[in-house]
Structure 1
Amino acid sequence: MTETKESGAHPDVADPAPTPHVADPAPQPRATKEQVEAAMHDSKLAQVLYHDWEAETYDEKWSISYDQRCVDYARGRFDAAVPDEVQRELPYDRALELGCGTGFFLLNLIQAGVARRGSVTDLSPGMVKVATRNGQGLGLDVDGRVADAEGIPYDDNTFDLVVGHAVLHHIPDVELSLREVVRVLKPGGRFVFAGEPTTVGNRYARELSTLTWRVATNVTKLPMLSQWRRPQAELDESSRAAALEAVVDLHTFDPADLERMAANAGAVEIRTASEEFTAAMLGWPIRTFEAAVPPGRLGWGWAKFAFNSWTTLSWVDATVWRRVVPKGWFYNVMVTGVKPGGTPS
């Protein structure tokens, strides 16, 4: 087995056993009105309720899959953040994903050859359940635990790689979480977090999304368009979920802020990159429209149009707009860094 410079691991040294833990709590797929009201004043309760609520339908909602399309997407985010010389020495041995959701990022990275095996963690029991089920369905070496990113329940120096996608902006104390990430990494191990909203990008994405929702839900009240309207009960449930979403989205970032927090957490070799400018301006209205109409109504032709349009605009963003638009104006920002003490990368 060839070890990477990043891991600092040795083939004859066994990984530390996971810290003993009590049984994970059961998912709560439906939140009561009283629970939602309580969650408005408790961000971590909101995280659990919102993501348990979304777990079983999350992949469909966000067009997440575990085929070549999303394997390429996940690997593309990793490659955009990590230096070329690191990529030439893959795979890492053991990886951890924080805020795994349904396992999209880590499971597709394992399939892309970035890591051999992994552990998925999330504050939501529902998400951990779906992520481990997805991993088992793919035949991957993956285990899962319900875990708070501000207190990761693994021993020091356990993982070669820690990843996350669209997770840091949900964590109350981001710097504390990054300290935990550095703690559980082996010396020389790397973290990669992608899909975090920038402050500027989040502003225009939310405005476009809100406008799309209002137009779609009002236009479909017309009799000739009623077949495009979801039942009112489903729209009301989506509105309650959206209310929780406003509570669980705690931060937006300037790339320099992420670099500073990573440095304060003890990381070195820190880099940020950003992506999606015009692609986000199209992508958010598309996703919102898809959520506003009945599932399956749009069909394969729409899915192909949406994906190809996003791919084309992402290419324009990367080859044209990146030359003239400030990094902080793009919608997504990625950050990577290394735990000191390993062989320099």
Structure 2
Amino acid sequence: MSHSTTPSGTPSDPAPNPHASAEEVQAAYGDPKLANVLYHDWEAGTYDEKWSISYDERCISYATDVFEAVAGREGQPYPTAMELGSGTGFFLLNLMQGGVIKKGSVTDLSPGMVEVALRNAERLGLDVDGRVADAERIPYDDNSFDLVVGHAVLHHIPDVEAALREVLRVLKPGGRFVFAGEPTKIGDFYARKLGQLTWWLTTNLMKLPMLNDWRRPQAELDESSRAAALEAVVDLHTFDPSELERMSSSAGAVDVKAVTDEFSAALAGWPIRTFEAAVPDEKLTLRWRLFAYKLWLRLSAVDKKLLSKVLPRELFYNVMVTGTKPPAPVEL
């Protein structure tokens, strides 16, 4: 992998590689970290659009609600925070805009994602720096941050407990971590099955002559299938909430708690997202997008206000976990 250089000529973070060779892609199937770099460099430029990520009130509210659902409001605003596996900066930047964090740092194994996250932060006028970083060897000093956050990152990391130990190392004594958007074992099973069924139905129904203009060109469908195949390589884990709590405690965290969300919202959301990936963008009107968003909001409210009170937490699609670094011992 090539490296960029600073003006003085000293090596800096690796440069993005959005056009991996066939040989690199083949090698990635046996190397999860390489797969993560190639896949996320490839996706970086269109990632926000693909996942409907924005930096407005919609996603600010989502990020702050998710954070406070597991960590509450105590400690806000956190003076310094790092996002592990930041992607394009969705979680950190929206938490900063929501007043949860003052100064932030983005880290990701993918140079392309760090580049896009820093560009997003600059456009939003936020005080953010960034580093290309392996979660199992975070390139920051001990006791650097008041908060570490991550969204949909732990399931990409080969050794999750090693990463959590690193998170605790870079946290200040008493500092908190919050990881959200991780797939549960049961939730991931039904989400993938629904996605596969929806993809098969949509792509085959659109072969009918009267629906042919709703079908993406075959080359685009093939590209999506290749992306999905590599996506399966980078998704390494699913989590049982209790297992994630035990893992966090074993890494050295205290006051550990896991919370789950999205059941009916996931049952509807995964088929909708898969359908959107299979049809041309011009067919997805504003009316459709508003319908999909409002449906997700209504079902999320049902999940929070009703289903979370009667269903086992293991059935929900997302799991969030928080914990703190033990405070420094008091010197006598």
Asked if Structure 1 and Structure 2 have the same fold, meaning a TM-score greater than 0.5 normalized by the shorter chain, the answer is: yes
Residue number in structure 2 paired with 1:302: 288
In the alignment, which of 244, 268, 271 is matched to residue 285 of structure 1?
Answer: 271
Q: In structure 2, how many angstroms separate the alpha carbons of the residues matched to 1:33 and 1:281?
A: 35
- The one-letter amino acid paired with 2:150 is G
Residue number in structure 2 paired with 1:71: 60
Shift in CA distance, 296/121, structure 1 to aligned 2, threshold 3 Å:
farther
Are residues 1:107 and 2:93 paired? yes
Q: In structure 1, how many angstroms separate the alpha carbons of the residues matched to 2:255 and 2:172?
A: 15
Residue number in structure 2 paired with 1:81: 70
Residues 273-282 or 296-305, more deviating? 296-305
Are residues 1:234 and 2:223 paired? no
Alpha-carbon shift at residue 342 of structure 1 (Å): 5.6
The 5 A counterparts of 1:88-167 are 88-167=74-153
Alpha-carbon shift at residue 295 of structure 1 (Å): 2.2
CA contact (8 A) 1:99 1:122 kept: yes
> SS at the partner of 1:75?
helix
Q: In structure 1, how many angstroms separate the alpha carbons of the residues matched to 2:258 and 2:11?
A: 37
Residue number in structure 2 paired with 1:221: 207
- The one-letter amino acid paired with 2:122 is Q
Alpha-carbon shift at residue 89 of structure 1 (Å): 3.9
> SS at the partner of 1:120?
strand
Q: In structure 2, how many angstroms separate the alpha carbons of the residues matched to 1:296 and 1:154?
A: 44
- The one-letter amino acid paired with 2:53 is I
Residue number in structure 2 paired with 1:36: 25
> SS at the partner of 1:46?
helix
CA contact (8 A) 1:99 1:167 kept: yes
Shift in CA distance, 32/216, structure 1 to aligned 2, threshold 3 Å:
farther
TM-score by length of 1: 0.91
Q: In structure 2, how many angstroms separate the alpha carbons of the residues matched to 1:100 and 1:272?
A: 20
Count of residue pairs brought into register by the alignment: 320
> SS at the partner of 2:173?
strand
Which aligned runs of 4 or more in structure 1 are off by greater than 3 angstroms?
none
Alpha-carbon shift at residue 32 of structure 1 (Å): 2.8
CA contact (8 A) 1:179 1:265 kept: yes
In the alignment, which of 167, 174, 184 is matched to residue 188 of structure 1?
Answer: 174
Alpha-carbon shift at residue 22 of structure 1 (Å): 3.8
Alpha-carbon shift at residue 254 of structure 1 (Å): 0.4
Unaligned runs of 5+ in 1: 1-20
Residue number in structure 1 paired with 2:242: 256
> SS at the partner of 2:14?
coil
Q: In structure 1, how many angstroms separate the alpha carbons of the residues matched to 2:241 and 2:302?
A: 21
Shift in CA distance, 342/309, structure 1 to aligned 2, threshold 3 Å:
farther
- The one-letter amino acid paired with 1:68 is E
Are residues 1:45 and 2:34 paired? yes
Q: In structure 2, how many angstroms separate the alpha carbons of the residues matched to 1:334 and 1:181?
A: 16
> SS at the partner of 2:12?
coil
Alpha-carbon shift at residue 225 of structure 1 (Å): 1.6
TM-score by length of 2: 0.94
- The one-letter amino acid paired with 1:29 is P
Report Cα offsets for 1:108-162 as digits up to 9, x if no partner: 0000001001000111111111111000000000111110000000000000000
Q: In structure 2, how many angstroms separate the alpha carbons of the residues matched to 1:251 and 1:89?
A: 31
Larger RCO (CA under 8 A, 6+ residues apart): 1
Unaligned runs of 5+ in 2: 1-9
- The one-letter amino acid paired with 1:115 is I
- The one-letter amino acid paired with 1:293 is V
CA contact (8 A) 1:189 1:342 kept: no
Q: CA RMSD in A?
A: 1.2
